[in-house]
Amino acid sequence: MTLSSFSSHELDFIDDDEFHEECGVVGIWTTQDAASLTALGLHALQHRGQEASGIVTYDGNQFHTHRGLGLVGEVFDDPRVIASLPGGMGIGHNRYATTGETQLRNVQPLYGDFEFGGFAVAHNGNLTNAQLLKQSLVRRGCLFQSSTDSEVFIHLIAISLYSNVIDRFIDAIKQVQGAYSLVALSKDMLIAARDPLGVRPLILGKLPYSQDENSWVVASETCALSSMGADFVRDIEPGEVIIIDHDGVRSIHPFADNTSSRFCIFEYVYFARPDSVIENKSVYMARKKIGAELAKESHIEADVVVPVPDSGVPAAIGYAEASNIPFELGIIRSHYIGRTFIEPTDQIRNLGVKLKHATNRAVINGKRVILIDDSIVRGTTSKKIVEMVRAAGATEVHLRIASPPTQHSCFYGIDTPAEEKLLAHTHSIDEMCKLIGADSLGFVSADGLYRALQEDKRNNQNPQYCDACFTGDYPIPLTDHDMQLVKSK
């Protein structure tokens, strides 16, 4: 039974108390086997989106595309699928929906035929003025085929009055607001771009083993390069547009007033894969340092430090090292629960955490336990895990969180609940602790999080990262959201 056999509600019944990844993008230029390499890159970026996957290639004469619902291994499991995607140039996309429902029509890359030829685009992020632009585009006669905000790019390029592809592309990105890392493919070039604040990651790499010295890769994270045997070159800069064609790589900076970066701090906390290096920082080492800061700020005497796997592991190691308390895998995670044939009844929903996690009683029984997790969303999972650890014989359970309280929704490409459903938005830390059932609850401070990322503290006048989910300080206007608030009054 495959992913497409289930509704999104059924698939989410175990994970409805977690933040979900955004999307992952890959682009390949002039190799002999772009589709296979793109699929390898998407597989490495599977953590960024598990709902759907797609690849578009160009063979010098025509474009080829294959998209499907499911994991990369499900969508591209048949060798005949890869064989149907010939060409040395390609882009790919893993999707987790932040806008638009889970349907094939919303799976990227999106493709369109223009007067200058075919054009495909894949987008990681979220546009905050997509609805406003869509209303204007529909009035001009544009027909939308999907409900995803990413299709706005296609229509803006289509109606642009500029003559060449690059000028049309720049015309389009100058009209959008929000967070975006884009890869796009025409018959002549591969384009990569980040929004002016660089909220979402995007990196440039090179394929050293290719027969063509002009062989390049762009991807959301460096872990994708490793899977393709590519070398890291550099991060694509905030507001930068990279153009790769038969003449090589060139860079354009169309946003003259771009002076700062507000990279998503939650990439370091949770989203990026631990072996990735983003903005010159090892994600794994950053998480260990966050754990060390957490130990400095809210330490308590205990017998064992236990991570909530998998995202809590590096922070728990850092906490254990800083506090000189033994680190143990007191909770074991099953990696095979994502596809279940069990009908999600209320009883099964209540067992969801137990299906995904099991306690290791040998290292918990009779111990004072410090549990380390990356964040608290609704709190239901945290409550069940605390109950499981107590049932395994823990005498005390102290919950420590490797991020500040998440009090606000994200509008830049991370799927978060509405604010009223975020536990930290409606409850104090003491109230949260009581509701979850822990003996104590502590979060790393915003300054502690910044110190772990090699900053002295958060600069409140000019924050170094986007941390809106913790602070409510949104660096990009929330045009569509604000319009909805006005309409609801």
Q: Which residues are catalytic?
A: 23
Sign of the alpha-carbon torsion through 22, 179, 162, 151? positive
The answer to whether the CB of 92 falls within 8 A of the CB of 54 is yes
The answer to whether the CB of 328 falls within 8 A of the CB of 367 is no
**If we measure between CA atoms, which residue out of 437, 368, 383, 373 comes closest to residue 405?**
373
Q: Is 139 helix (H, G, I), strand (E, B) or coil?
A: helix
Q: Is 122 helix (H, G, I), strand (E, B) or coil?
A: strand
DSSP-derived secondary structure letter, 346: H
The answer to whether the CB of 403 falls within 8 A of the CB of 376 is no
Structure tokens that stand for 331 in this block: 């909770």
Residue 327's alpha-carbon distances to 232, 261, 321, 324, 378, in angstroms, are: 33, 36, 8, 9, 27
Neighbours of 81 (CB within 10 A): 15
Residue 400's alpha-carbon distances to 227, 363, 444, 472, in angstroms, are: 34, 18, 8, 22
Residue 115's alpha-carbon distances to 146, 205, 248, 401, in angstroms, are: 21, 31, 25, 53
- 379 Rama sector, left if φ>0, alpha if ψ -120 to 50, beta otherwise: left
- Cα–Cα distance for residue pair 81/51, rounded to 1 Å: 18
- Cα–Cα distance for residue pair 397/389, rounded to 1 Å: 7
- Cα–Cα distance for residue pair 219/199, rounded to 1 Å: 15
The answer to whether the CB of 39 falls within 8 A of the CB of 76 is yes
Structure tokens that stand for 52 in this block: 């759907």
Neighbours of 32 (CB within 10 A): 13
DSSP 349-386: HHTHHHHHEEE-HHHHTT-EEEEEES--SSSHHHHHHH
